[in-house]
Structure 1
Amino acid sequence: MTPTPPVPPLNVSLPGAQERGAAYRCPQDGTRVPVEAAAPWCCPVCRGPWDLDFSPAPVDLKSLAGRVNSLWRYAEALPLDGPPPVTLGEGRTPLVPLTDTVSAKLDFLMPTLSFKDRGAVVLAELARRLGPERVVADSSGNAGTSVAAYLARAGLPCTVYVPEATSPKKVEQIGAHGARVERVPGDREATARAARSAADAPGTFYASHVFNPYFLHGTKTYVYELWEELGGRLPDAIVVPVGNGTLLLGAALATAELYAHGLIAERPALVAVQAEAVSPLATAFRAGADWLSDEEDGAVAAADTLAEGIAIPRPPRARQILRAVRESGGTFLTATEDQLRAAQRDLAGRGLFVESTGVACWAAVSASDAFAGRSVVVPLCGAGLKTGLA
């Protein structure tokens, strides 16, 4: 397929941005490499995901009123300085009440109808600046759609690897943006292995929402938006769905930054939600473990679940996810398949048609008595049109 010509970046300024050095760093062994086109997609020593050595500047709440109406308004907190970025106007999604204490952030109203746009736009802008020969990604659907859309906006062709059982509507959406779709027999883990094998080829940028930390610095804008919308504070608990943990780890970054800069008085509890059918992290958390057991020792296997987007048996950032939840004073919750179905219909009855993965947090919170008297925000992560009614 002939790549479409690049769309010129919108005239978005990065107010207050300054040169801030960034380098990839392995959280396990400390290996560091510069962020450049030839950088390996994972740590060459342990093959684990990268973190980013990056020092954000504080965001001045009072200065935000006149800024661009997208997540790029938090320029000081983002690791990309310089020229105007590629954008589709992502971010700034509504916050609406569900009960007296629980509110929902409508991230299914993003340009590609999922919260993954927060991380994908940052990855796409990084790829545009690095100028790779090719771009590959892997996804159960939503991340692949977001990456395909933003790379199309940036004028970069890509190949997206998806499990063969991925929702046809999501596969169609990926292809509509001009990406080549590679269906992989087997589960999400098999898909990741196929993409990582392709990513090892020279000149390839792996637009991984799991291994590349720039994605996490995009998802952290979810919390920066909450902080702005709530007038410089955060709720008592931020509840997020967790498969590979990209939204949770982004939230952990944001709360740590806001607290370190004295912009919040205390950090909220981070509560992670998994489908009961595929809940390796919840199982490890309840056992007091800081990592998942080896496969031969009975690690949680993949299973059928309506929450396909978080059905990840062995998330590469498991150790970081478990630590982030514990350090925040949070916990793990799980939702059954019946609860997911009921939650999707309940939200639809309130005017919010959300995909079955995206309702997991509301399913868990509405079934729990742990939040009495506490302010809570849940994300509604993906539009119901992506999967239909369960």
Structure 2
Amino acid sequence: MTLLPDCFCPVDGTRVSSRSLAWCCPVCGGPLDLDFSPTPAPLKSLAGRVNSLWRYAETLPLSGPSVSLGEGRTPLVELADGISAKLDFLMPTLSFKDRGAVLLAELALRLKPRQVVADSSGNAGTSIAAYCARAALPCTVYVPRGTSPKKLEQIGAHGARLHVVDGDREAAARAAREAANEPDVFYASHVFNPYFLHGTKTYVHELWEDLGGRLPEVLVLPVGNGTLLLGAALAVAELYAAGLIERRPALYAVQAAAVAPLAHAWEEGADDLADVTPMAPTAAEGIAIPRPPRARQILRAVRDSGGTFLTVTEDQIRHAQLDLASRGLYVESTGVACWAAVRKGAPGKLPLSRLRSSGGTPIAVVPLCGAGLKSGLAGTAQSGE
């Protein structure tokens, strides 16, 4: 097996072997990070490489992909007022989660477990199921009751075994973690496994390449478990350390007002979640996470970047979804949260007027993370991932 970097606990420093199926820190039970500090390739050297996220091979902890479905390299299109959108819903399973899921499947292939398990409110589950199908790995996905029927259909179509758990998103996670503690089981957790973050970071490497070696002033990112934001922070750090960007963009984290534990902690100036906030129904099911395990890391990443937190109401989400549809982009309600936060006329929108575009680089970029066909128009409130 190709040498893999070890994992470590960012809280207490405990190290976990790359050959282990342990999915969390054995001391504190928290999520793990990867002992991996790559140097990205210069812009000119990327010409002619494979047209997928694997073109950034120097930054990835796994090489020689065998289960790729061509994920990555999604279009970047201008919306309005200096804001552009990256169309990550144009992925093989119609969500950005493919960026991380492909790395988890590749890792599982190398570790050779008898079973892969995952938990999700939909998009991560469909991605894991698809890439496990590609890798011929047996897969079980735990989902909460109330998950979109269209997402359940997609998971099942890929051949994964579905466990619908009576309860909320956290109940599904508990059930999956119990199964993950069985012998010879690989927990394909998009939250606890750091390989997933090293997949999502390719979102920013693509932006950097598409913008000719630049990044926008602001990266606006939806946050539930924070996997896209933390991946973005990794990529920004890599590009900056290599001298490939002169400044770091601010990270603006967006949560649904109905479930905004991180935004509340931010307002209180806290370094971690203090009191758990009540969870109300929201159409943004993919970011409805009352207790994100990487909360401390998310808050620190936003603070270190000079960014902030924004929240959006259900009305803002609904109007943003319709607005994008009127522009030809049909995106699920979670995926429109960032556009809801920054589009013209949005209450409490970003103070983008003080920023200026430079050399054709947009002021801000928002990700459109999931296709509208996955859950339909906002209006039926659900709770989720």
The DSSP-based 3-state class of the residue aligned with 1:358 is helix
1:134 corresponding residue in structure 2? 115
Tell me which moved more, 315-324 or 97-106.
97-106
Alpha-carbon distance in 2 for matches of 1:387, 1:67: 35
Aligned counterpart for 2:318 among listed residues 328, 341, 349: 341
1:212 corresponding residue in structure 2? 193
| Matching of residue 64 in structure 1 with residue 46 in structure 2 | yes
2:367 corresponding residue in structure 1? 379
What is the one-letter code of the residue matched to 1:304? Answer: P
Aligned counterpart for 1:148 among listed residues 125, 129, 132: 129
1:263 corresponding residue in structure 2? 244
What pairs up with 1:126-205 in 2 under 5 angstroms?
126-205=107-186
Deviation at 1:130, TM superposition (A): 1.1
What pairs up with 1:1-390 in 2 under 5 angstroms?
22-36=5-19, 38-81=20-63, 83-293=64-274, 298-366=275-343, 367=346, 368-372=349-353, 373-374=355-356, 375-390=363-378
Cα offsets for 1:23-62 (capped at 9, x unmatched) = 11000000001111x3311001000000000121221210
Alpha-carbon distance in 2 for matches of 1:108, 1:203: 33
TM-score by length of 1: 0.92
Query: Relative to structure 1, is the Cα distance of residues 122 and 21 closer, same or farther in structure 2, using a 3 angstrom cutoff?
Result: closer
The DSSP-based 3-state class of the residue aligned with 1:98 is strand
Tell me which moved more, 184-193 or 56-65.
56-65
Report if aligned partners of 2:341, 2:350 keep a CA contact under 8 Å in 1. no
Deviation at 1:20, TM superposition (A): 7.2
Deviation at 1:259, TM superposition (A): 0.2
Alpha-carbon distance in 2 for matches of 1:57, 1:260: 8
Alpha-carbon distance in 1 for matches of 2:94, 2:335: 11
Deviation at 1:84, TM superposition (A): 3.7
2:382 corresponding residue in structure 1? none
Report if aligned partners of 1:187, 1:302 keep a CA contact under 8 Å in 2. no
Cα offsets for 1:114-172 (capped at 9, x unmatched) = 00000000111111111101100000100000000011001101000001110000011
Alpha-carbon distance in 2 for matches of 1:353, 1:84: 31
Report if aligned partners of 2:216, 2:364 keep a CA contact under 8 Å in 1. yes
What is the one-letter code of the residue matched to 2:203? Answer: Y
Q: CA RMSD in A?
A: 1.1
Alpha-carbon distance in 2 for matches of 1:126, 1:211: 14
Residue segments in structure 2 that go unaligned for 5+ positions in a row: 357-362, 379-385
Report if aligned partners of 1:210, 1:244 keep a CA contact under 8 Å in 2. yes
Report if aligned partners of 2:100, 2:196 keep a CA contact under 8 Å in 1. yes
Deviation at 1:180, TM superposition (A): 0.4
Query: Relative to structure 1, is the Cα distance of residues 61 and 369 closer, same or farther in structure 2, using a 3 angstrom cutoff?
Result: closer
Deviation at 1:197, TM superposition (A): 0.6
Deviation at 1:290, TM superposition (A): 0.6
The DSSP-based 3-state class of the residue aligned with 1:159 is strand
Q: Identity of counterpart residues, as a percentage? A: 75
2:359 corresponding residue in structure 1? none
Residue segments in structure 1 that go unaligned for 5+ positions in a row: 1-18
Alpha-carbon distance in 2 for matches of 1:145, 1:40: 23
- Number of aligned residues: 366
**Runs of 4+ with >3 A deviation:** none
